[in-house]
Structure 1
Amino acid sequence: MQDQYENPGRTRWRRFAALTVPAAAVATAVVFGVANGAVAASFAVSSQTFKVSATELRGEGFVQYGGIAQEVDGTRNPVAVTGIREAEIVNLCQSVKVPTPGAPVVLKITAGDEGRPATASDLVIDVVSLEGDVLFRDINIGQDASTLEGGPPGARGEPGAFGQQADAVTITNLRQVARAISAQTFNLRGLELKVNVGEAAKECF
């Protein structure tokens, strides 16, 4: 379901990195994956990032490796490609601030409470930054990205690039910035979509 750049040159792995590998090593590994040409989203991404938060994300089949999210004009944005084969998301919030003159405008989507969480299959996220408390089950760190398995079909990087995988992942108090999300299925139970203007235009965090 946020791995390194929120602003150019600013690393924000925080507690997520502390639970996996040292932040400097992660940043180096992601850059190495990018240098090897790993590609993230299979579609052209917008020039905007968006925010996603959740009380809890529970996933089966987790993989992660460095990649590039490319815009229509050819701009290449380094990301951490994060794949989860099956996911449940409690209290999902997704928001994007629309650049407009004058008062700010925010598009916000909420869905999924504890009794009826949002669900997704073959979920792939181009992550810019991520914060939260993370618990992995049976994790491999530093695995060759081309050998990753157990995640969404085709979710693997270039030979020799840094990767990591786990049988399962639980992230509580999730806050992430992303450039793209794709999924085979995305079931948003209790969906609410609002366009807020001015003082009411609050993002997920």
Structure 2
Amino acid sequence: MESVARGGTRWTRFAVVMVPSVAATAAIGVALSQGALAASFSVSGQQFKVTADRLDGQGFVNYGAMDVSGSGKHPVTVIGLEDATITDLCQSVVIPVPIFGDVSMKLTAGRPGDPKVKANKLYIDADDLQANATFTEIDIGVSIDETSKGPGPSAGDDYVPDSFAQQADSVVFTDVKQRAWATSAGTFQLSGLAMKVQRGKNECY
């Protein structure tokens, strides 16, 4: 799956000081999110959850942003990865349907025994992140305009010039749980893909 240059993130006066553990979880969601969404989009207003057993990433960048949907503006932490390899990926979304009730869609891929999930030029916009993380050569407090280790903000991003960012040569995330608004990617290869739709709540966590 291919996507064009990423957009869809709108900035207001928003400043976030993110610790490495928060940044770590965000990167995971990248891999687990909705495949490769079209790069220029307004978020749906429907959040989704993601889990992963492990993510190995090369080229990491993280900064704050606002996503815009029909229901308003949502503060997020945006994570970018040049390349990522993910084991045991799960993504779920619950959609309330009038009269019928909740309907859940769950996607899994890269389970033990399957080839791992692979992606490049991944971006994810998350607002709730939990994970264990190990960074290699991390820089915290870099200007977003001066990041060089990850993909950086893509050409379509609208961000506050010289705002806070962090970057690292590589990252390893384990035991990831994340809630996100959106994800986009250059390519996303999902090995052993399985999808299930059912009534009620059937989430990854």
Same-fold status (TM-score > 0.5): yes
Match of 1:91, SS? strand
Higher relative contact order (CA closer than 8 Å, sequence separation 6+):
2
Per-residue Cα deviation, 1:112-160 (whole angstroms, up to 9, x for no partner): 0345110100000011111010100000001111111232264485323
1:171 counterpart residue number: 173
Q: What does 1:68-147 align with in structure 2 at a 5 Å threshold?
A: 68-71=66-69, 73=70, 75-100=72-97, 101-115=99-113, 116-147=115-146
Q: What does 1:50-61 align with in structure 2 at a 5 Å threshold?
A: 50-61=48-59
RMSD between aligned residues: 2.4
TM-score w.r.t. the length of structure 1 is 0.75
Match of 1:16, SS? helix
The answer as to whether partners of 1:50 and 1:97 remain within 8 angstroms in 2 is yes
Match of 2:145, SS? helix
1:17 to partner: Cα distance: 4.2
Query: What amino acid maps onto 2:125 in structure 1?
Result: D
Query: What amino acid maps onto 1:204 in structure 2?
Result: C
TM-score w.r.t. the length of structure 2 is 0.75
**CA gap 1:74/1:159 in 2 versus in 1, 3 angstroms:** same
152-161 or 141-150: which moved more?
152-161
Which runs of 5 or more residues in structure 1 are unaligned?
1-12, 20-40
1:42 to partner: Cα distance: 3.6
Match of 2:191, SS? coil
Per-residue Cα deviation, 1:41-90 (whole angstroms, up to 9, x for no partner): 7410011110010000110000000011111x372211101001100110
2:202 counterpart residue number: 202
State the distance in 2 between where 1:174 and 1:53 align.
5
Which runs of 5 or more residues in structure 2 are unaligned?
1-17, 25-38
The answer as to whether partners of 1:59 and 1:86 remain within 8 angstroms in 2 is yes
Number of residue equivalences: 170
The answer as to whether partners of 1:146 and 1:158 remain within 8 angstroms in 2 is no
Instruction: Indicate the percent of aligned positions where both proteins have the same amino acid.
Output: 41
Query: What amino acid maps onto 1:203 in structure 2?
Result: E
1:67 aligned residue (65, 68, 71): 65
Query: What amino acid maps onto 2:126 in structure 1?
Result: V
Per-residue Cα deviation, 1:7-43 (whole angstroms, up to 9, x for no partner): xxxxxx8992498xxxxxxxxxxxxxxxxxxxxx741
